[in-house]
Structure 1
Amino acid sequence: MSEIRQLQPQLLWQWFDQICAIPHPSYHEEKLAEFILQWAKNKGFFAERDETGNILIRKPASVGMENRKSVVLQAHLDMVPQANEDTRHDFSVDPILPYIDGEWVTAKGTTLGADNGIGMASALAVLDSQDIAHPELEVLLTMTEEQGMEGALGLRADWVQSKIMINTDTEENGEIYIGCAGGENADLALSINTTPNTFEHCRLLSLKGLRGGHSGCDIHTGRANAIKTLVRFLAQLKASDVEFALSDIRGGSVRNAIPREAFATLCFNGDPNALQSAVQNFDVLLQEELALSEPSLSLFLQPCDKPTEVFEQSSSDAVINLFNLVPNGVIRNSDVINGVVETSLSIGVLKTENNTVRGTILLRSLIESGRRYVESLLQSLADLAEAKVTFSGDYPGWVPQRDSEILQLTEKVYGNILGYAPEIKVIHAGLECGLLKKIYPNLDVVSIGPTIRNAHSPDEKVHIPAVQTYWRLLTDVLAEIPHK
């Protein structure tokens, strides 16, 4: 039990603390899912899981609400596992340790899992409550959203009965979301040849301290991508007098987060001071160039064991050239929705394994043609580099419907709470709403949530007053759901 259990609304925070206590990174949600399922059955609710592992719970309407339209509250079970380099944390075993920091709740050295744990906690708190007015209620909790929306992709058809859905995966107070980008994974693989290591010296090149963040919501902020920044330096080094070869290159850990760290093992000849000087000069350049967006970055060398093999010179050059050329960031802003990114991509993971350097890239676009354009860019690049690109896991966007009944109600209630009109927005990130509407096309959907900062990074935090506002919005909307 942690101090957050005393925050208001207490029932929501108690549930969030319970969620934090049970490990639930992507592909390891089983313990949490079974805990929730058993709890719901013990309460006497209808509760079951489908073939993919998603959970559906039903609760009868509260007294006097029996003739209102039924509503499904939706959240995902998993969280993004990211930890600081100096934090020893096994996300499949260790609990998240939340604590209060002023007006925020954050975690000790790891992601907090407020994305989407706060939304999940709010849905469970409504189920658990005795005094909240609500219509007949369904709660849908999906598996493995953060790694390709696998739960939503495999959701059982003809299972959800409600025609109104409130998705709880939005991360900004005062905003209602009615659309989102679609997405797709791209796996860019380059085969390499190795040779026995005859170089004199070896050093580990490390880039650390970047802010990272959500590769959709934060893609327009100018935050540096650690993989791209490290390779940028290697490209500059390649043009210098330093003779070197790679023996390993890696960075990032999840496809949907902007990577905060990247590493390369360099083997080289000549004066080590020449390499040290090049690294220090580039570190100064980065700190000047990225002083506002990345105030804590650091590029430095460390001693390391000498590997027995290195990339052949042609392979080292090919890896640096390829990943230096990979497009990254905003490709185009929307012409239709002011201030929203239309199309982007982000390389989230880079690793060396089995004589292959492999980059995992996430493409996002509000429009199908934008995604196809980025596919063609990557295919052309792969062809030129004699690499291979494979596309997988595509999911649809969520097309806005401005005349939605649940939107009009949510907008009215939110305006009464805030004292001003909420913003109606489309998000450049993947929400499950598009997939769920593909399976249940008659769903009337909005997405709401409290303010969460730096999701998908160890700096993730959720704003306590915004949670209170979100809870009031959710419960007031449920109390005013229209009649059947």
Structure 2
Amino acid sequence: MTTLSQLQPQPLWQWFEQICAIPHPSKHEQALSSFIQDWAKEKQLKVVEDKVGNLIIQKPATPGMEDRKVVVIQAHIDMVPQKNADKNHDFLTDPIQPVIDGEWVKASGTTLGADNGIGMASALAILGADDIKHGPLEVLLTIDEEAGMTGAFGLEAGMLEADILINTDSEQEGEIYMGCAGGVDAQITLPMVWQAPEPTNPTFTLSLSGLKGGHSGVNIHLGRGNANKLLARFLFNHEEELALELTNFTGGSLRNAIPREASVSFMIPTENVDRLQQLIQDFQALVREELAIADPDMVLTLEEVPAATQVMSEETQQTLIELLHACPNGVTRMSDEIEGVTETSLNVGVISTEAESVNILCLIRSLLDSGRQEVETVLNAITNLAGADIEFSGAYPGWKPDSTSPVMAIVKETYEAIYHKEPTIMVIHAGLECGLFKKPYPDMDMVSIGPTIRFPHSPDEKVLIETVDQYWKLLLAVLERIPTKD
């Protein structure tokens, strides 16, 4: 056991330490799910795994609270698997290694999984406690939230009895969330035509690293560098001058994470290598100056590699570079209604080069359906001009804000009573599952709270220890204040 188990609240941190010990990246949650099910059965709690793999665990009310409305505490089981390039870690087999760093808990070279492991740990700690007052309680743990919201899409009506849902997936203590953005995936496919290379030219790989990355909803407004877009910019400006012949473009790993790293491989005439090295130095200095505040540590590395056997055709290469350079990225529009909140954004998340095509995976987010649709039409227009194909999939609705929500009022009043200050009522640009839950449960009253988590979806992810205790106290106090059934 690490020193996490000594932190307060101890039951929550003990559970989080256990969660870290069992690998659970998106689409590979079964080991953790099975562990939780076995534990629930040992505690004689009713546990059900639904058709898609979500877990619903029920716990009776504590004595004297039987007449309260049923509450479901909700979290997702999966975590985002991101690591630094120099970190040797297999997310399918290796445990996360949490460490205490001053006021924060982070991981050693990988994402921590506080998103949404802290929320999951709080729910399980409450299920296991004998000294916490609450009415009839359910815990809903969904699968695959980070890679497609499969669990939320698959949740069926009739599985839950709750009147109220408390989502634990927001990431700022002192803020109560009552709405979130919707989103849709966009996959652009550019057909590939290969040709024979000039056999005497050397082959190099240019790698871009050192960016902060982060959550494409929570951090998109911070102006951080996108590795895919930066490499495309370099190629657009210099590939003709250098007579580059591309063999590969790879960047990013998740549609909902701002890409921190990307690489491009190419053949180049020997006489242009010195010029290439100078242009790399100049571009690195330029980007570091431009992003001196938001993302100052970008690094370009050039390495000679074994000779390529094929290169992209001139037309394919030019189209790919121009398509990537022209593709919008980042904040499209800020909200007029909610100060400081992003309304619409686009993240050019993943680029992969295959035998038949280059694939570009983006995630569009918007508080408004019309905003999302406008970005879709822009991407349609760009791909039409490029002669590429585009497919939109996995669209999920936003969670429409309800300023009259009774549970939001309870959380707000409870927070004020505990901390003697007003919380901020917010709408988040990231996607929460609440919007999807509204389809099978349209009358369910929902709210989202959580501790302060910084840089989720990146190896810099960390959670502020003090706020975990604050979140825990708020959650327990809210459970005590749930009203009686009508």
Normalising by the smaller structure, the TM-score range is over 0.9
Asked if the contact 1:280/1:300 (under 8 Å) is kept, the reply is no
The match for 1:194 is 194
The match for 1:46 is 46
Any residues of structure 2 matched to 1:53-64 within 5 Å, and which?
A: 53-64=53-64
> Quick one: distance in 2 between partners of 1:458 and 1:364?
23
> Quick one: distance in 1 between partners of 2:11 and 2:284?
48
The amino acid across from 1:264 in the alignment is V
Any residues of structure 2 matched to 1:285-434 within 5 Å, and which?
A: 285-434=286-435
The amino acid across from 2:452 in the alignment is T
> Quick one: distance in 1 between partners of 2:121 and 2:233?
42
The amino acid across from 1:471 in the alignment is W
Equivalent position SS for 1:314: helix
The amino acid across from 1:186 in the alignment is A
**Displacement after TM superposition at 1:259 (Å):** 0.3
Q: Deviations over 1:244-292 (max 9, x none)?
A: 1110001000110000000000211123111111111101111111111
The match for 1:92 is 92
> Quick one: distance in 1 between partners of 2:417 and 2:303?
57
CA RMSD of aligned residues (A): 0.9
Greater alpha carbon shift after TM alignment, 309-318 vs 225-234:
309-318
Any residues of structure 2 matched to 1:443-454 within 5 Å, and which?
A: 443-454=444-455
> Quick one: distance in 1 between partners of 2:402 and 2:137?
23
The match for 2:468 is 467
> Quick one: distance in 2 between partners of 1:415 and 1:434?
27
> Quick one: distance in 2 between partners of 1:338 and 1:285?
32
Equivalent position SS for 2:320: helix
Greater alpha carbon shift after TM alignment, 468-477 vs 195-204:
195-204
The match for 2:78 is 78
**Displacement after TM superposition at 1:293 (Å):** 1.1
The match for 1:29 is 29
Asked if the contact 1:228/1:324 (under 8 Å) is kept, the reply is yes
> Quick one: distance in 1 between partners of 2:403 and 2:388?
44
The amino acid across from 2:353 in the alignment is T
Asked if the contact 1:201/1:272 (under 8 Å) is kept, the reply is no
Greater alpha carbon shift after TM alignment, 266-275 vs 244-253:
266-275
> Quick one: distance in 2 between partners of 1:418 and 1:289?
41
> Quick one: distance in 1 between partners of 2:56 and 2:213?
34
> Quick one: distance in 1 between partners of 2:315 and 2:403?
55
**Displacement after TM superposition at 1:355 (Å):** 2.6
Equivalent position SS for 1:439: coil
**Displacement after TM superposition at 1:474 (Å):** 0.3
Q: Deviations over 1:131-168 (max 9, x none)?
A: 01111100000010001100000112211001101000
* Structure 2 residue 6 is the aligned partner of structure 1 residue 19: no
Q: Deviations over 1:334-373 (max 9, x none)?
A: 1222221111110110010123111100000111111110
The match for 2:162 is 162
Q: Deviations over 1:73-104 (max 9, x none)?
A: 00000000000000011101111000100000
> Quick one: distance in 2 between partners of 1:89 and 1:179?
36
Asked if the contact 2:187/2:359 (under 8 Å) is kept, the reply is yes
> Quick one: distance in 1 between partners of 2:150 and 2:348?
20
Equivalent position SS for 2:307: coil
**Displacement after TM superposition at 1:295 (Å):** 2.0
Equivalent position SS for 1:186: strand
* Structure 2 residue 478 is the aligned partner of structure 1 residue 477: yes
Asked if the contact 1:181/1:396 (under 8 Å) is kept, the reply is yes
Equivalent position SS for 1:11: helix
Equivalent position SS for 2:161: coil
**TM-score between both structures, scaled by the size of structure 1:** 0.99
Equivalent position SS for 1:183: strand
Q: Deviations over 1:431-474 (max 9, x none)?
A: 00000011100110000000000000000000000001000000
The amino acid across from 1:185 in the alignment is D
The match for 1:180 is 180
Equivalent position SS for 2:333: strand
Show structure 1 runs of 5+ residues with no match: none
Asked if the contact 1:33/1:55 (under 8 Å) is kept, the reply is yes
The amino acid across from 1:9 in the alignment is P
**Displacement after TM superposition at 1:23 (Å):** 0.3
**Displacement after TM superposition at 1:5 (Å):** 0.8
* Structure 2 residue 258 is the aligned partner of structure 1 residue 258: yes
Asked if the contact 2:289/2:296 (under 8 Å) is kept, the reply is no
* Structure 2 residue 268 is the aligned partner of structure 1 residue 268: yes
Q: Deviations over 1:204-259 (max 9, x none)?
A: 101100000000111100101110011111111135x3111110001000110000
Q: Deviations over 1:85-133 (max 9, x none)?
A: 0001110111100010000000011000000000000000000111011
Asked if the contact 2:249/2:263 (under 8 Å) is kept, the reply is yes
Equivalent position SS for 2:359: strand
The amino acid across from 1:17 in the alignment is E
Equivalent position SS for 2:376: helix
Equivalent position SS for 1:438: coil
The amino acid across from 1:121 in the alignment is A
The match for 2:458 is 457
Asked if the contact 1:208/1:299 (under 8 Å) is kept, the reply is yes
> Quick one: distance in 1 between partners of 2:457 and 2:373?
26
Equivalent position SS for 2:222: coil
Show structure 2 runs of 5+ residues with no match: none
> Quick one: distance in 2 between partners of 1:398 and 1:206?
39
Any residues of structure 2 matched to 1:435-446 within 5 Å, and which?
A: 435-446=436-447
**Displacement after TM superposition at 1:60 (Å):** 0.4
**Displacement after TM superposition at 1:177 (Å):** 0.1
Asked if the contact 1:77/1:120 (under 8 Å) is kept, the reply is yes
Equivalent position SS for 2:438: helix
Greater alpha carbon shift after TM alignment, 79-88 vs 326-335:
326-335
The match for 2:142 is 142
> Quick one: distance in 1 between partners of 2:444 and 2:41?
26
Q: Deviations over 1:407-438 (max 9, x none)?
A: 01000111122221000000001000000011
**TM-score between both structures, scaled by the size of structure 2:** 0.98
The match for 1:121 is 121
